[in-house]
Structure 1
Amino acid sequence: MTSTVAAPARPVLRVRGLSWAVGGAQIVSDVGFDVAEGEFVAVIGPNGAGKTSLFNLISGLTRPTAGTIELDTLDITRVAPHRRARRGLGRTFQSSSVFPALTVAENVRLAAAAHRGACLRIWRRAESDQAAWHATAEALERVGLAHRAAEIAGSLSHGDKRKLEIAILLATDPRIILLDEPMAGVGVADVPALTEVIRAVHREQGRTVLMVEHHMDVLLGLADRVAVMHHGSLLALDVPDEVMANPVVQEAYLGEAL
């Protein structure tokens, strides 16, 4: 039976009966949920619960064996990842995905130019691509990296690289952002600033966010609802207090760290 939980407002993302099996092993099993426009949904669960696999299915990196994915009522289940991105679906990954030899600004400018169908040559004169450079400046300002625009991306701390990845996403003007463990590898001292960047992206810019993260204190301070994955299935989806008090969740995770 499909586990389907409706969001309280018009959904921008709708998942129905989503499943993925490999060699007989069920990695994601019959997952269904809605995400409302502007909502922040945290996705939690221990390693192997299917969280990243779920993100891979939603972003198009993996093709499901069953089920559908809708973005604004449009079925994108078989749509290629780059076409999903053009329709407003952005994604970060657990490992850093910046170009370390390019400057901070060049990393963002490439994304902005690609989104606008412009030339990707980094030596192209700025005057010929004002829209991309404007988007670059705005995105870097949003994440607090404007003052480091000319620095080489590889020289940034891990926390600042995570901010840069978010700036790269913002330059493509996504409606939905999937953040896969953005705090992974980030020093304790950098967590609060990165948390505030993510909070601003959601609350001030109104972006819809789905985020996988193991820092529960971070998630519970950001999320409107929490989705609990367990052995590839959606065990619960509710407001944070209800999820944390749910006896089924507590029983499922007895002795297992969320």
Structure 2
Amino acid sequence: MAGPQYVVTHGGHPAQSELHTGRAIFTEAYAVIPKGVMRDIVTSALPFWSGTRVWIIARPLSGFSETFSQYVMEVAPGGGSVRPEPDAAAQGALFVMEGEIVVTLGGERHRLQPGGFAWLPPGSGWTLANEGSRHAAFHWIRKLYERVEGIDVPEPVFGNEQDIVPLSMPGTAGRWATTRFLDPDDIRYDMHLNIVTLEPGGLIPFEETHVMEHGLYVLEGKAVYKLNRDWVEVEAGDFMWLRAFCPQACYAGGPGKFRYLLYKDVNRHTKLGGFGR
């Protein structure tokens, strides 16, 4: 049986002979960034990173993401950073799709291969290197950690999705399951990163409308997603951002599994009186 798949964007440019048939959408409630628009021309460089380019697919912005930034990182052999995170208040979550990276934290080296995950506490002083012979590609999600008096910051977490048993959603007979990298019952975490899997024909059968902001990167398969008022086709390599309370539902539409990497903010009171109070 084939193992998990992770579709990776490799950039490049379309030929001048191609038609413009993109699916990119940006609205007040959601955005869809298809894999086909993640080209060389929209990459960025980052301070203190070598041999690296990045697609920034979400960032705090008026009318867009409010709680997180999400990067798709591509690091060449020998590349990486000894000063990756410039903000001492930011936590980080990494998910590897291709190649191999070594994350060093507190003097310990952690080798992450496809499916590998790391949660990195704020101010932890981690570093990252590609010591392999091929490019590495991974997601890096950054969020300011919301400290709460009397609640400790969690310890670092390292693992791989292939070592985690997916949990079936109630009443779905396994057709809708979630792989949880962080303990959902641990109040110390103010974000979750999961992999959601829908078997062929599986569905989210109601329009979820709730406070969590979402970032969804499709790892495998295809589906039709209900986003606010619209039904949108998505496939592996696409990214979706959903504002808090944006209605959402989906049907898995392909012959194989539909899987996506899901970020959401959790476990904290809503801010009153506007941002920055």
Q: Normalising by structure 2, what TM-score?
A: 0.30
Point out the structure with the larger strand share.
2
Point out the structure with the larger helix share.
1
Higher relative contact order (CA 8 A, sep 6+): 1
Q: Normalising by structure 1, what TM-score?
A: 0.31
